[in-house]
Amino acid sequence: MSKAQNKPEGVTPSQTVGPYFAYGLTSNGKYDWNDAFSNNLVTADTSGERVRVEGRVFDGDGKPMVDCMLEIWQADAQGRFSDPQDKRALPNSSFKGFGRCGTDADGGYAFDTIKPGTVPDPDGKPQAPHLVLAVFARGMLLHLYTRIYFDGEAANAADPVLALVPIDRRATLIAQRANCNPSAVYRLDVHLQGDDETVFFDV
Amino acid sequence: MTLSYPLQSLTAHPPRLSPGYKSTVKRSPTKPLIPMRHTLSELTGPVYGHETVRENDNDLTLQGKGEPLGERIIVHGHVLDEDGRGVPNTLVELWQANACGRYIHVVDQHPAPLDPNFTGAGRTQSDGEGYYRFVTIKPGAYPWGNHHNAWRPAHIHFSVFGHSFVSRLVTQMYFPGDPLFPFDPIFNSVTDEKARNRMVSDFDLENTKPDWALCYRFNIVLRGRNATPMETK
């Protein structure tokens, strides 16, 4: 069935995820379909500090985005990715590092995960613990990438990516610790526009 | 194999702010994106998900108690990187309206019938050469509220991962010769004609199954090319 392929002229363009993706991508028990992914990344043998990262997503009118899909990608507590391309990684855990969440009627999202370890930048400098976040929605022809850092991490001060961000906008990337019971909860809202517009990265 | 992901490849994508598609006005950032070098966090990505693929998940005509109504079709092709290499064992997810142009999503109130034998969700895993195949029903066009008498051309939504988190792609596959193309601001948000046409599947007579189903070929090209000494990360 497979045919030799000519060299492509370019990538396939992105299109919006639209308003109706939930039954295929984030059914979460509401439709008769098994989800490939969930917003709970923690497995029985996952080591590391359990955290819940949660918040809401808002559009340019400050209205909650109730039809948004968020995906996170992160290292494990040792700073290793569950991907053979990370040559440092050892398959020592069933932690996969990927999560997906559809926003609720309040534009809310939540991921249950662990705080990732330290991942080096291309020069070998340590990056502060972070999640990579991709945002998809109706009205978004191409998803946006941002990062979620953790309040109170001393490593934030020297993080080479945060350093690229003007000081007055860094707070849009740093989830604030909300409480510690039973496990740590960090909150970060995502604003597509407005005074608190989230910093998005050109990657 | 280490791939690089030059920003140049992103020029094929639509601008985030495409005012003809009204929802983009309040849902696209107003401040410039901040450039950064790719780190391991961007250069790696999920290589799983396919363990959730069940036997008939790539045949949307077998998921109900009976056969769905509409025109049965085969949709197949390769997931490729920018150098034309197949992306093996990657998860391909799709979702779509039924033959009447109605989604099962609770928010879709288009007064066209639901089909009790059709959910419109599917997934599969590409094989060792990046090849994938679905059997489904040709989706109908449907109206939407963007402007007066707005109709979406028939399309199938695709979600694909590829080799890294920055090769992630969500797109829509269209059908050749659709008369709605000139009027659809989502399709035309891709301003380059050649790039736009890469979202249109090819009718594939060779793989059309006699007395059973028409076939369409849709190759999905993801970011990622050989890293060369000329390129700096």
Sheet of B155-160: strands edge to edge?
Answer: B121-125, B91-96, B155-160, B169-174
Task: Spell out where B86-205 has E strands.
Answer: 91-96, 121-125, 131-137, 142-144, 150-152, 155-160, 169-174, 202-203
Residue of B nearest to A64 (CA): B27
Respond yes or no: is residue B152 known to be catalytic: yes
Q: What pLDDT score does A35 carry? A: 87
Count of other CB atoms within 10 angstroms of residue A60? 17
User: How is residue A184 written in tokens?
Assistant: 């740590």
Contacts with B5 from chain A: Cβ below 8 Å: 203
pLDDT in tens, A25-52: 998 888 888 888 999 999 988 999 999 9
Contact A24 B121 (CB under 8 A): yes
Among residues B5, B21, B103, B132, which one is catalytic?
A: B103
Annotation says B21 is catalytic: no
- The 10s digit of each residue's pLDDT in A60-84 is 999 999 999 999 999 999 999 999 8
pLDDT at A3 over 50: no
Question: Measured at the alpha carbon of residue A105, what is the angle toward residues A102 and A109, in degrees to the nearest 5?
Answer: 40
- Given CB atoms, is A105 within the 8 Å cutoff of chain B? no
Q: Which of chain A's residues have a Cβ under 8 Å away from the Cβ of B132?
A: none
Query: Which chain B residue is nearest to residue A138, measuring alpha carbons?
Result: B23
Model ipTM value: 0.95
Containing B221, the helix (H) or strand (E) segment is: strand B220-221
Q: Name every residue whose Cβ is closer than 8 Å to that of residue B111 and which is 6 or more positions away in sequence.
A: none
Task: Show Cβ contacts of residue A48 under 8 Å, excluding neighbours closer than 6 positions.
Answer: A76, A77, A95, A114, A115, A116, A117
Q: What is the pTM of this model?
A: 0.96
Per-residue pLDDT of chain B (233 residues; tens, 9 = 90+): 689 999 999 999 999 999 999 999 999 999 999 999 999 999 999 987 667 888 899 999 999 999 999 999 999 999 999 999 999 999 999 999 999 999 999 898 899 999 999 999 999 999 999 999 999 999 999 999 999 999 999 999 999 999 999 999 999 999 999 999 999 999 999 999 999 999 999 999 999 999 999 999 999 999 999 976 554 44
Nearest to A200 among B15, B29, B44 (CB): B29
Distance from CA of A23 to the nearest CA of B (A): 6
Nearest chain A alpha carbon to B19: A139
State the pLDDT at residue B228.
Answer: 66
> Is B170 within 8 Å of A15 when comparing Cβ atoms?
yes
Question: Residue A70 has what pLDDT?
Answer: 98
